């Protein structure tokens, strides 16, 4: 194994691979419903064999964690087949999936049989009316709750729920979501509203910060920093003092973690991004198809040149760069 470090000394350890840029939701912070989207066709998608080859290459470079994303990854046909093949790769210690949960009631047992044990479900509200509003398509919360129950029944060992918190939109859902996850034995993670892409009308005034989230939770529950917090984790972990679980906060805006970011992102079309807030990527699918033996060196060169630290310099960056230049979240894989 030949590990690789970027210009700031950050080792490549984690990859997020999007398996599709299609989604069956229209969440306002990712794919607002009033915009017409152009999705990649089957020929422009990385095939399962190409993804397997890519992951094996990355593992040889020190990657040991993989998260499958979208769009909505469960829209990719036969995804369990891909997961089963990924499970057989030596050195890949951690495979997880992030989903909106809509299709989990049908696919949970199939995913578990393929070897998947870790799953994250996006749920921005537990209130049905607000949930319908936030997903942009009036989809009821019951569909996702059924999916959560399905993964519990299937036997998944680590189930997390994610919520993007927007001030004045769903910040009052923080405590209801905490109560729900505690009652279900699940882990809740709150994500600060981020300026990914160009279409979500992000503004600093809409950010509900880590400090505010913690203050809200403290009104009802006692907690402390989790002793197992790791420097490379995106989420700060907190455990409830009564022993009934934990929660996390991803505070990319108010408390950036760029200095310890070890993540490479790959779009469904084989475009590589070294930051969630990227303005451009490196299109490697043609090389992957025509000269796969060159892929490892190209990725090494990309990572070695990496200097990204957008969140630590957000205000200065925004002043210098037009917002229209950033890649949309559904393309980059969240």
Q: Is 265 annotated as a binding residue?
A: yes
Q: Is 27 annotated as a binding residue?
A: yes
Q: Is 40 annotated as a binding residue?
A: no
> Sign of the C-alpha dihedral, residues 122, 252, 270, 38?
positive
Q: Is 194 annotated as a binding residue?
A: yes
Q: Is 137 annotated as a binding residue?
A: no
Q: Is 263 annotated as a binding residue?
A: yes
126 vs 213: CA distance, rounded Å: 16
Q: Is 261 annotated as a binding residue?
A: yes
Q: Is 105 annotated as a binding residue?
A: no
Count Cβ atoms below 10 Å from residue 299 Cβ, excluding itself. Answer: 24
SS3 readout for the chain: CCCCECCCCCECCEEEEECCCCCCCCCCCCCCCCCCCCCCCHHHCCCHHHHHHHHHHHHCCCCCEEEEECCCHHHCCCHHHHHHHHHCCCCCCEEEEEECCCCHHHHHHHHHHCCCCEEEEECCCCCHHHHHHHHCCCCCHHHHHHHHHHHHHHCCCEEEEEEEEECCCCHHHHHHHHHHHHHHCCEEEEEECCCCCCCCCCCHHHECCHHHHHHHHHCCCCEEECCCCCCCCCCEEEEECCCCCEEEEECCCCCCCHHHCCEEEECCCCEEECCCCCCCCEECHHHHHHCHHHHHHHHHHHHHCCCCCHHHHHHHHHHHCCHHHCCCHHHHCC
Q: Is 160 annotated as a binding residue?
A: yes
Residues flagged as binding site for [4Fe-4S] cluster: 23, 27, 30, 258, 261, 275
Residues flagged as binding site for GTP: 16, 160, 263-265
Residues flagged as binding site for S-adenosyl-L-methionine: 29, 71, 122, 194
Residues flagged as binding site: 16, 23, 27, 29-30, 71, 122, 160, 194, 258, 261, 263-265, 275
């Amino acid at each position: 194994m030949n590990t690789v470090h970027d210009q700031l000394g950050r080792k490549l350890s984690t990859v997020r691979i999007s398996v599709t840029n299609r989604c069956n939701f229209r969440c306002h912070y990712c794919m607002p419903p009033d915009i017409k989207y152009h999705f990649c066709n089957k020929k422009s998608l990385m095939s399962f064999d190409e993804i397997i080859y890519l992951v094996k290459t990355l593992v040889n470079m020190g990657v040991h964690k993989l998260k499958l994303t979208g769009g909505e990854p469960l829209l990719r046909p036969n995804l369990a087949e891909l997961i089963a093949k990924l499970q057989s790769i030596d050195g890949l210690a951690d495979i997880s999936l992030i989903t909106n949960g809509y299709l989990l009631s049908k696919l949970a047992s199939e995913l578990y049989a393929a070897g998947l044990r870790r799953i994250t479900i996006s749920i921005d509200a537990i209130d049905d009316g607000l949930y319908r509003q936030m997903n942009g398509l009036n989809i009821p919360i019951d569909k996702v709750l059924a999916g959560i129950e399905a993964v519990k029944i299937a036997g998944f060992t680590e189930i997390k729920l994610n919520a993007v918190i927007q001030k004045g939109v769903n910040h009052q859902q923080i405590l209801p979501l905490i109560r729900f996850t505690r009652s279900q034995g699940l882990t809740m993670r709150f994500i600060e509203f981020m300026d990914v892409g160009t279409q979500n009308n992000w503004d600093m005034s809409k950010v509900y910060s880590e400090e505010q989230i913690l203050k809200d939770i403290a009104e009802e529950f006692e907690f402390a920093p989790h002793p197992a917090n790791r420097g490379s984790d995106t989420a700060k972990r907190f455990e409830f003092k009564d022993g009934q679980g934990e929660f996390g906060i991803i505070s990319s805006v108010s408390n950036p973690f760029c200095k310890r970011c070890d993540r490479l992102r790959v779009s469904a079309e084989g475009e590589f991004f070294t930051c969630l807030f990227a303005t451009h990527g490196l299109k490697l699918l043609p090389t992957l198809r025509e000269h796969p033996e060159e892929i490892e060196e190209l990725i090494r060169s990309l990572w070695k040149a990496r200097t990204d630290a957008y969140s630590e310099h957000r205000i200065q960056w925004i002043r210098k760069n037009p917002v229209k230049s950033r890649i949309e979240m559904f393309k980059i894989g969240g």
